[in-house]
Amino acid sequence: MPSQISQAIKAICEEKMLSEEAVLEAVESALAAAYRKDFGNKNQNIKCEFDAEQYDGETKGIRIFDVKEVVADMELPDDYFERFEAAHAGKKDLPGGRPQEFGERAGTEAPKPGTGNAAEGEPSEEEFMFNPKTMIMLSDAKDLKPDAQIGDEIRVELSIPAAFGRMAAQTAKQVIMQKLREAERNVIFHDFKEREGELMNVTVQRREGRVVLIDLGRATGIILPEDQIESERYFPGTRIRAILREVAMTNKGPEIRLSRSSPGLVAALFAQEIPEIANGIVEIKDIAREAGSRTKAAVTTNDEMIDPIGSCIGQRGTRIQTIIRELGGEKVDVVMWSADETEYVTNALSPAKVQQVELRRDEHLAVARVAPDQLSLAIGKGGQNVRLAAKLTGWKITIVNPEGAEVAIEEEADKPEARSPKPEETATDAEAQTPETETRNSKLETEAPEVDATGEAVETDAIKAEVEEAMADNRNPEAALESDKAGE
């Protein structure tokens, strides 16, 4: 029949989703530390073997060993051990049971062999080549094991006092709990690390300052201010979709960072809502995004029978409207990617009609000539359209009128990374966007309703005006709206 501690270890492993070997290793490490503290001596390298099935609450099932490595015989000065003890006085074992070597301090590297810290009067490592705690000379090892060879490990079993069983339980408790917490943190870290870039349905837990805490079940994620959309409000209990941007291990455990502003969120939503992208028939090459305002996505396909833009928009815009609602009303432009850079820049500036594009490769500059009635579309509100086109293509773009006068200029931006699921594949030249698809795209953009973070349509212009008025009065925008409604 399994012992009580064996049953407890199995229950902990099932509850915390840990391996039984990790828990037993923690128990053995704790028992070795307890024995070294109360019953060992400075020249013993204590290791413990613990059999949970045989443990009876006292000492049965516990075996303690003094483990040493066999080294060649060497001549030592008469005062070697006194100087060795004086040099290692106050030294503590490092994590993992490895004894701290002479000259090795916390936060610093141990000196290399043959070097010493002469400034502090410390001897070199070569002066203490023999460590009596972890080493045993060959002649002494043969007394214990006649066939011992250099490099062998000699294990001498030590007696266990009766009091050790009771003391060990108390001493080992805190160490075991710490090891279990560390093991649980590692499980969570590796579990979420493998899911980086995944689209997740999550629940807002609460806010702490400007940081939003997300409930992930057995872990808590965060959305930092730079990963939030400024126009969105995150209330506790709200269900949202976010991309798992990064998982990092910190001193306090794994830090799981999610994002609502990453271009990867748009790519994941496209893959979820559009089967052609999920199956690899249509490929997203580049994405440029200003979160909460507008996004441009460049798509292509190797199948001449497939219209990549039409596949993304869907019948009557049903597919793209679902993505727009999930992004809180953020406008989404889908343009045709092309290996021809001139054609690509032309498509990136849609919905504006571009008459001509001149590429000045020495300056990495694209000069786009547009008709007077297309200037406002090409530039966009606050220069947004040309700015996103520059990010999408990686070219510095200048807008000029038919007479050649500069109207707008956008500095070169770093080209966004490709969103292809298979970066090693190279797409063939795609057909240019037709006027019909451009017209359909611009029409959808103008017809797209403004929605809030919950997906409900709102009167954007009216709310923005009220918020600006409230901010001018140094008031809380939400309180201002409520007070204005009460006044009506």
Domain boundaries, the chain: 4-97+123-187, 195-259, 263-447, 458-488
Q: What percentage of the chain has pLDDT greater than the value 70?
A: 72
Residue with tokens 């492993």: 13
Q: Note the pLDDT of residue 168.
A: 66
Most confident segment among 57-61, 180-184, 226-230 = 226-230
Q: Same CATH fold, 263-447 and 195-259?
A: no
More confident residue, 365 or 41: 365
CATH assignment of 263-447? 3.30.300.20
Q: Note the pLDDT of residue 138.
A: 86
> Looking at domain 4-97+123-187, which of 3.30.450.20, 3.40.440.10, 3.40.640.10, 3.30.1480.10 is its CATH number?
3.30.1480.10
* Nearest to 348, CA basis, from 306, 310, 394, 400: 394
Checking if the pLDDT of 67 tops 70, the result is: yes
Rounded average pLDDT over 243-253: 91
Contact 457, 449 (CB under 8 A): yes
Q: What is the CA radius of gyration of the chain?
A: 34
Task: Give the chain's mean pLDDT.
Answer: 77
Amino acid at 273: E
> Looking at domain 195-259, which of 2.40.50.140, 1.10.3210.50, 3.30.300.30, 3.40.630.10 is its CATH number?
2.40.50.140
Q: How far is the C-alpha of 412 from the C-alpha of 106, rounded, in Å?
A: 47
Q: Note the pLDDT of residue 86.
A: 78
Interval 93-129: pLDDT, tens = 444 444 444 334 444 444 444 444 444 444 544 566 7
Residue with tokens 């007479």: 403
Interval 304-343: pLDDT, tens = 899 999 999 999 899 999 999 999 899 999 999 999 999 9
More confident residue, 406 or 421: 406
Rounded average pLDDT over 186-201: 91
Q: What percentage of the chain has pLDDT greater than the value 90?
A: 38
Q: Phi first, then psi: what are they for 254, rounded to 5°?
A: -70, 135
